[in-house]
Amino acid sequence: MLATRRALLLSPLATPALAQTAFPDRPIRLVIGYPAGGGVDTVGRPIMQKLAERLGQPVVVENRGGANGNIAMEFMARVEPDGYTLFMGDAGNLGITHALYPNLPFDTQRDFVGVAQLTAGPSVLVISSTVPARTMQEFVALLKARPDALHFGSAGIGSGPHLFYESWRRAAGVSMTHVPYRGTGPALQGLLAGDVQLMVSNYGVFRGAHEGGRVRVLAISSPERHPALPDVPTVRETGTDWSLMGFNGVIAPARIPPARRQLLEEGFRAVMQQPEMVAQMISLGSVAAFTPGAALDQHMREQRAFWTRLVREANIQAE
């Protein structure tokens, strides 16, 4: 306790109100709705380590995979809104889920508030090194010659990677057989084993396999090339007029005390502005892109509307 108070007093976040409430005076739990090794997990863990250093308390990551994160979000809707349990999600959790599941026992706009958006990042389109294509143009030609013969692996029906793929597929005019897994990590194992030929996710998921020559990164979904992957073209450069950016953000139960929400928001702001964190996010194929909680709330509303339209147009139905 003495060490914790000393850390808080030394922090520029410390205020008379903070000293009085002594928040946080115990570990914070950060829930992720996907198994370990997925995109949110890969990006989230280094951020939470730095937040723990900032706050003077551990931030314990808890993976609660299943149902595209809905199991974890339903759990979050029932936790004590004291700021000690937070949720980190992606576009799938924070924008897509209600487009697929109209009768959920929670509502992202009613039951949660944004704490901070942390990153904005493109996805990469990655194929197994065994696929006889070395460029996106060659891969698209292969798919058009063999409709539905090749397999796309995702973190599950309606997951962010699935819908990113669906958006790209429609723009490129191709078709593959979708193989949903229970998380990005298992899908990656399927890609490495040759069970599926394509995946779409943030680069951090594939970094080790890419550096080891086991997968090929064909293109990136951003409007411009990424500094960590200067030799990887954008999808638009390969001939398909398409780009799409994902994001990661942290939310809390709606009734979190405003002062605690503000303290956490400022903690994330400080962490995401650290030069070493900016560099680490780039190395993972993402971009540090902090926005405050209120801006995240607005972004979530916009994302929900966008993905609802796509789900309806593509007639995607969750299992």
Helix/strand/coil (H/E/C) assignment for every residue in 266-284: HHHHHHHCCHHHHHHHHHC
Distance CA 245, CA 318 (A): 23
Residue with tokens 């946080």: 24
pLDDT value, residue 102 = 82
Domain 2-121+245-314 class, CATH top level: alpha beta
Distance CA 89, CA 61 (A): 12
For 110, the token pair is 């009613």
Distance CA 154, CA 1 (A): 44
* Sheet-wide strand order for 112-122: 59-63, 28-32, 85-90, 245-253, 112-122, 288-292
Cis status, amide bond into 122, omega within 30 of 0: no
Same fold, 2-121+245-314 and 124-238: yes
Average pLDDT over residues 180-199: 94
Stronger pLDDT, 5 or 231, i.e. the higher one: 231
Stronger pLDDT, 227 or 142, i.e. the higher one: 142
Q: pLDDT, tens digit, for every residue of 150-161?
A: 999 998 888 888
pLDDT value, residue 21 = 59
Domain ranges of the chain: 2-121+245-314, 124-238
Answer yes or no: CATH 1.10.10.10 is held by domain 124-238: no
